[in-house]
Amino acid sequence: MRIIFMGTPDFAVASLEALLNAGKTIVAVVTAPDKPSGRGQKLNESAVKQFAIQRGLPVLQPARLKDPGFLEALAGYRADLQVVVAFRMLPEVVWKMPPMGTINLHGSLLPQYRGAAPINWAIINGERETGVTTFMLSHEIDTGDILAAERIPIGDTETAGELHDRMMVIGAKLLVSSVNDIAGGKITQLSQDVLISENSGMELNHAPKLFKEDCLIDWRSPAKATFDKIRGLSPFPTAYIEFRGKTLKIFNSSYTLTDPGIQAGGFLTDGKTFLKFACTDGFISLLEVQMEGKKRLKIDEFLRGTRLD
């Protein structure tokens, strides 16, 4: 079975590596164009491109997925199946090209948390469980028929980064299993619409792309919800507050439920070991932060170099 793999970040590398280790024939890799970054605007290659080059795989980097030259090149690889992990939305002319279709690995238990940031939103919303799902691509994003899914518990203090790393490995194994089932003609498909209709009380949560305004902490929120938001945004795109006229990113925190005794947004500190902000029903203690233009620091290191009086 000839496979074209499409993906961009580290999350996708694990799946590409798992397919290769399982002996699958990857005839080409499609990834995002190189992007300039930093002061020198040096071109950065995606994690998937770097890995593909190391393994000697052909790499395509179309700026536009409907470009006739790209479509011709894609068709020339005569793929039986396309596999997509953490890539952009594909036009129909691309996902319908191979005879076996195109499958996708998604970081949630579909139909829950359709969208660009499922790992983040599951933690932000205080979920105790999430999962990974393989499904067939169709017209609407993340709505195709489900092939397989695996449930994953979320730790009480787990960050999005930590969960990402666990899901990356579990998802890669599930993807290989789904590809094996397709190759062996053993795959069954479950319509998401049928799943939703059979669970009439199901409330769908969504996972839209996160923007800077989504990351601003509002101390008027409950302490647990604030704690979940901080860990759900860590390490990226990162929760933040405006503090002393600058942006203070918060990577790690803890919370306590109590009558704070001060107005929401007020803080208490000994100037050496702790800095905690009042919410409506308790405190958030900052554990790891980064002031605008400075390094990421543990709270005691931060306090040693910051005057709060």
Q: Mark whether 191 and 241 lie in a shared domain.
A: no
Does 257 map to a domain?
A: yes
Does 116 map to a domain?
A: yes
Domain-ending residue, one of 164, 198, 232: 198
Does 206 map to a domain?
A: no
Q: Mark whether 84 and 182 lie in a shared domain.
A: yes
Q: Mark whether 27 and 173 lie in a shared domain.
A: yes
Per-residue CA distances from 141 to 95, 106, 128, 197, 281 (Å): 12, 11, 25, 19, 39
Taking the model in full, what pTM does it have? Answer: 0.95
Question: Residue 223 sits in which domain range?
Answer: 212-304
Which residue ranges in the chain fall short of pLDDT 70? 39, 309
CA-wise closest residue to 291 among 219, 238, 253: 238
Token pair 């305004």 in the structure block, residue: 213
Query: How many domains would you assign to the chain?
Result: 2
Q: Mark whether 163 and 230 lie in a shared domain.
A: no
Q: Mark whether 79 and 162 lie in a shared domain.
A: yes
Q: Mark whether 192 and 248 lie in a shared domain.
A: no
Report whether 71 belongs to an annotated binding site: no
Domain-ending residue, one of 144, 169, 198: 198
Does 203 map to a domain?
A: no
Amino acid at 127: E
Does 207 map to a domain?
A: no
- For 205-233, write each residue's pLDDT tens digit: 999 999 999 999 999 999 999 999 999 99
Does 296 map to a domain?
A: yes
Report whether 110 belongs to an annotated binding site: yes
Q: Would you state the structure tokens that stand for residue 32, as one six-digit string?
A: 């995002």
Separation CA 131–CA 118 (nearest Å): 10
Domain-ending residue, one of 154, 171, 198: 198
- pLDDT number for residue 307: 81
Q: Mark whether 151 and 257 lie in a shared domain.
A: no
Q: Mark whether 62 and 146 lie in a shared domain.
A: yes
Report whether 303 belongs to an annotated binding site: no
Max Cα distance, the chain (Å)? 69
- From its phi and psi, is residue 12 left (phi > 0), alpha (psi between -120 and 50) or beta? alpha
Does 309 map to a domain?
A: no
Report whether 221 belongs to an annotated binding site: no
- pLDDT number for residue 8: 97
Separation CA 104–CA 84 (nearest Å): 5
Looking up residue 166, the CATH number of its domain turns out to be: 3.40.50.170
Q: Mark whether 189 and 223 lie in a shared domain.
A: no
Q: Mark whether 194 and 232 lie in a shared domain.
A: no
Q: Mark whether 164 and 220 lie in a shared domain.
A: no
- pLDDT number for residue 42: 80
Does 204 map to a domain?
A: no
- pLDDT number for residue 37: 75
- pLDDT number for residue 202: 84
Looking up residue 234, the CATH number of its domain turns out to be: 3.10.25.10
- pLDDT number for residue 196: 93
Q: Mark whether 134 and 235 lie in a shared domain.
A: no
- For 163-219, write each residue's pLDDT tens digit: 999 999 999 999 999 999 999 999 899 999 999 999 887 899 999 999 999 999 999
